[in-house]
Amino acid sequence: MGIETTSSAAAPHPVRLRGSRIGVLRVPDWPIVVARQTGALPGGGEQGSPGAVVHAMRIVACDEGARADGVRTGMRVRDAQAASPLLALAPADPVGEALAFERVVRAVLAVVPAAQPIGDGALAFRMRGASRFYGSEPRAIEAVRAALAPLGLTASFGVADDRFAAELAAGGRGETIVPPGRSRMFLEGLPVGVLGDDELPGMLHRLGVHTLGGFAKLPDDSIRDRFGEAGLVALARARGEDDRRVDADGLGEERVLRLAFEPGIEGVHELALAVREPVERFVRQLAEQRLVCSEIRIVLRGEEGRVSERLWRQPGFLRAGDIVDRMRWQLTESELGSPLVEVQALPERLDADAAHMPGLWGGGDIDDRTKHALERLQGMLGREAVLTAAPGGGRLLAERGVLTPWGDAAPAPAAGPWPGALPPPRPTVVFRPPLPVRLLDAAGAQVEAAALDVREGAPVSFSPPASARRRVVAWAGPWPIRRRDLGDVVHRVQILDGEGEAWVLLQADGLWLAEGRYA
């Protein structure tokens, strides 16, 4: 179970008021800052070693010294150590980073009326009222900078008419103030990759659109038809019309549920009894503010310090029982190795309750009866027995469709392109994992893909999984796929057998495997 970077509650998305201004501050390399403060990394600077934070054997954050040596986020640890032999490493601690950032929130709220953490060591705050109080936007920034000084922190600042532009403006050093009404001009020269979505920028590049300015000129109807509502959200941001506002109340203790247990809890039933009433009170507090939670991050901490963290979402919104169930499931699947002593529930996305009200003629994201039926099936058969499908990325058929348990957050599709991927139409039956088969030539010997490549040793007979041998009517291929986990080179072949069924086969490490079947 992976540890992900913790981010704070997202406010609902009302329409941005005309004339509003948003400021964003970002503490560069926040995970590194926290690791040095806690002693997980040695002190940096001219005399210190370069530092990096690691999760799942990959670099998730690094300091300026490491970057000067060629270390980059996403790099494998062994490659980073080859580039920077003196690199000091620390494990990722998203819970500690989130807790440490609360000091930043309190410091900023002492000088501005509203502030909201937005993840990755960044915080958004309302600039309009602060600039009026301090006399100008630069003076308001200086006030916020002075509030951070006792914490020993330096930050970069960005100010713009909308939050997306302000976040990008804060990505450099010092401060960048985008003049009122100039957000679109500021954004138009930036690459489409800053939108953050892996699939959309890749598609735009293939269409010949490389900048936000070019993307912003595309018609709304075309974007809706091609990319759906998510594409329209990205289009609005490219035009400087991001409608996300700063939560008027900041994060607030009522927006985060923290429970400590002494002595620790060891069973899921004990956990359900302990958390049910606090979770119900937590959901009621949100309801009193006309809010519902559609995504929540649950953090479990064991007595010996091990942490399990997971993002949960489902169509519609999460009720109290949904949150309790996900706490139970996560404890069951986690490997804390000691009694549970702390539970945190941090809303990742808060929506206005009106956004989830049923329409006059019904509608909504998913019918309540369907939702309850799926949850009941999970309760009877287990969480892994009820799966939902989402598109994925990869060269193999099993990678093109990702199955996740109902209620889990589907992983973001890996970025392409994918040379060697099978083009559509793809087989309707995909074997997970691929099943062993036999593909023989006229002499009864196994067919070798290398021989097929020069049109020798053509396949004559085929033995499907758990079935009698069939003759091969037609075949095509082979097409090479370079995969380290399946051998140096994997070859894909398509065949049509005497029963009229078409198959996709792989040859990996000298074995033939059935990857899929057209049905």
**Domain-by-domain residue ranges, the chain?**
41-92, 184-232, 255-356, 422-518
Mean pLDDT on 400-424? 68
Residue 404, judged by CB atoms within 10 A of its CB (0-12, 13-18, 19+), counts as middle
Question: Closest Cα partner for 498 from 466, 456, 468?
Answer: 468
Helix (H, G, I), strand (E, B) or coil at 145: helix
- Evaluate if residue 73 carries a pLDDT over 80: yes
Q: Report the pLDDT value the prediction gives residue 413, as an integer from 0 to 100.
A: 63
- Evaluate if residue 355 carries a pLDDT over 60: no
pLDDT tens-digit series, residues 77-108: 999 999 999 999 999 887 778 778 878 888 88
Helices 94-109 and 137-148: crossing angle, nearest 10°? 130
Mean pLDDT on 170-185? 90
- Evaluate if residue 412 carries a pLDDT over 70: no
Q: Between 408 and 86, where is the model more confident?
A: 86
Tell me the C-alpha to C-alpha distance, in Å, between residue 155 and each of 142, 148, 149, 172.
11, 8, 10, 10
Amino acid in position 254: E
CA 385 to mean position of chain CA atoms? 23
Highest-pLDDT range among 38-47, 214-223, 439-448: 214-223
Q: Report the pLDDT value the prediction gives residue 488, as an integer from 0 to 100.
A: 61
pLDDT tens-digit series, residues 243-295: 887 765 444 444 678 888 888 888 888 888 888 888 988 888 888 777 788 88
Residue 212, judged by CB atoms within 10 A of its CB (0-12, 13-18, 19+), counts as buried
Mean pLDDT on 213-239? 89
DSSP letter for each residue of 402-458: EEEETTBPPPPPPP---TTPPPSSPPSEEEEEEEEEEEE-TTSPBP-HHHHHTT-S-
Mean pLDDT on 300-328? 83
In angstroms, rounded to a whole number, what is the distance separating the alpha carbons of residues 369 and 372?
Answer: 5
Q: Between 452 and 503, where is the model more confident?
A: 503
Residue 345, judged by CB atoms within 10 A of its CB (0-12, 13-18, 19+), counts as buried
- Evaluate if residue 13 carries a pLDDT over 50: no
Half-sphere exposure of 367 (CA within 13 A, CB side): 5
Question: Closest Cα partner for 42 from 26, 65, 70?
Answer: 65
Question: Closest Cα partner for 185 from 166, 212, 222?
Answer: 212
Mean pLDDT on 207-216? 92
- Evaluate if residue 15 carries a pLDDT over 50: no
Tell me yes or no: is domain 255-356 CATH 3.30.1490.100: yes
Confidence of residue 407 (pLDDT cuts 50, 70, 90): low
Helices (H), 239-306: 268-288
Half-sphere exposure of 402 (CA within 13 A, CB side): 14
Confidence of residue 211 (pLDDT cuts 50, 70, 90): very high
Quote the pTM value: 0.49
Mean pLDDT on 417-435? 77
Look at the domain 184-232 and name its fold: DNA polymerase; domain 1 (1.10.150)
Confidence of residue 242 (pLDDT cuts 50, 70, 90): confident
Residue range 41-92, CATH number: 3.40.1170.60
Q: Report the pLDDT value the prediction gives residue 187, as an integer from 0 to 100.
A: 94
* 82 Cβ contact list (under 8 Å, min separation 6): none
